[in-house]
Chains A and B, each alone.
Chain A
Amino acid sequence: MIEPAGEPQSAGGAPETSSPRHTIELRGVSKRYRGTEALAPLDLEIRDGEFFCLLGPSGCGKTTTLNLIGGFVEATSGEIVIQGENVTNVPPHQRNVNTVFQSYALFPHLTVRDNVAFGLKMSRVPARESEVRTRDALELVRLTDYADYYPAQLSGGQQQRVAVARALVNRPAVLLLDEPLGALDLKLRKQLQVELARIHRDVGTTFVFVTHDQEEAMAMADRIAVMNSGRIEQVGTPEEIYARPSSRFVADFVGESNFFEVERRGDGTVVTAGGSPVPCSMGASSDWSRATLMVRPEAIRFAAHKGEHLCLEGEVLQSSFLGSFTRVAIACADTQAPVLATLPYGKRHRQELRVESTVSFTWDPEDAVVLDLQQA
Chain B
Amino acid sequence: MTSSAGQAEAVVRGAGAIRARPRAVLTSRLGEYAGFGPVLLLFGGFFFAPLVLIIAYSFWQVIDYNVVQNWTLDNYRYFLSVPTYVRTFIATLWMTALATVLTIGIAFPFAYWLTRYVSRSWQRPLLLLVIIPFWTSYLLRVASWITILGEGGVVNRTLEALGLIHQPLSFLLYNRWAVIFVLVYLYFPFAALTLFSALERFDWNQLKAAMDLGAPPLTAIWRIMLPQIRPGVITAVIFVFIPILGEYLTPQLVGGVDGVMIGNLVVNFFVGAQYTRGAAIALLITAIAVAMLILFRRSLVLEQVYGR
Contacts and interface: CB of A to CB of B under 8 A. Distances in A.
A122 B223 CA distance: 11
Interface centre among A91, A92, A99, A167 (most CB of B within 10 A): A92
A169 to B, nearest CB: 9
B227 A103 contact: no
A150 B205 contact: no
B186 interface: no
Nearest to B228: A109
B308 interface: yes
B307 A118 contact: no
Specify the main secondary structure of chain B where it touches its partner.
helix
B215 A122 contact: yes
B207 to A, nearest CB: 9
B308 A170 contact: no
A215 interface: no
Contact of A108 (B211, B214, B306): B306
A93 B208 contact: no
Question: Chain B CB within 10 Å — which of A108, A109, A123, A167 has the most?
Answer: A109
Contact of A91 (B211, B213, B219, B308): B211
B213 A150 contact: no
A122 B213 contact: yes
A122 B214 contact: yes
A94 B224 CA distance: 18
Contacts of B64: none
B131 to A, nearest CB: 30
Given A122-B215, A122-B219, A123-B214, A108 B308 contact: yes
Contact of B206 (A93, A105, A167, A170): A105
Contacts of B128: none
B211 A105 contact: no
Interface residues of A, number: 28
Contacts of B211: 91-93
B210 A118 contact: yes
A219 interface: no
A108 B205 contact: no
Q: Which of B206, B209, B215, B224 has the most CB of A within 10 A?
A: B209
A260 to B, nearest CB: 46
Interface string B12-25: 00000000000000
B1 interface: yes
B203 interface: yes
A93 B307 contact: no
Interface string B115-149: 00000000000000000000000000000000000
Interface string B283-308: 00000000000000000001001111
A143 to B, nearest CB: 15
B32 interface: no
A68 to B, nearest CB: 14
B4 interface: yes
Contacts of A94: 214
Nearest to A107: B224
B209 A99 contact: yes
B307 A105 contact: no
A167 B213 CA distance: 7
A371 to B, nearest CB: 39
A107 B302 CA distance: 14
A345 interface: no
B266 to A, nearest CB: 41
A108 B210 CA distance: 12
Interface in A77-105: 91-94, 97-99, 101, 103, 105
Interface hub of A97, A101, A108, A148 (most chain B Cβ within 10 A): A108
B72 to A, nearest CB: 50
A105 B205 contact: yes
Contact of B208 (A101, A118, A119, A150): A101
Given A109-B228, A152-B306, A92 B212 contact: yes
Given A150-B306, A150-B307, A152-B308, A93 B215 contact: yes
B210 A98 contact: no
B306 A170 contact: no
B216 interface: yes
B205 A103 contact: yes
Contacts of B227: 109
Nearest to B216: A93
A91 B220 CA distance: 14
A264 to B, nearest CB: 53
B209 A105 contact: yes
B213 A166 contact: yes
B213 A170 contact: yes
Nearest to A109: B227
A105 to B, nearest CB: 4
Contacts of B215: 93, 118, 122
Contacts of B220: 93
A314 B124 CA distance: 60
A205 B12 CA distance: 48
A70 interface: yes
A94 B215 CA distance: 9
Interface string A120-156: 0011000000000000000000000000111011000
Interface string B156-174: 0000000000000000000
Contacts of B205: 101, 103, 105
Nearest to B214: A122
Interface of A: 70, 72, 91-94, 97-99, 101, 103, 105-109, 118-119, 122-123, 148-150, 152-153, 166-167, 170
Given A92-B208, A150-B307, 14 more contacts: A70-B212, A72-B208, A72-B212, A93-B213, A93-B215, A94-B214, A98-B213, A99-B209, A99-B212, A105-B209, A107-B210, A123-B214, A152-B306, A170-B213
9 contacts: A92-B211, A93-B212, A94-B214, A98-B212, A105-B203, A107-B228, A152-B306, A152-B307, A153-B4
Interface of B: 1, 4, 203, 205-206, 208-217, 219-220, 224, 227-228, 302, 305-308
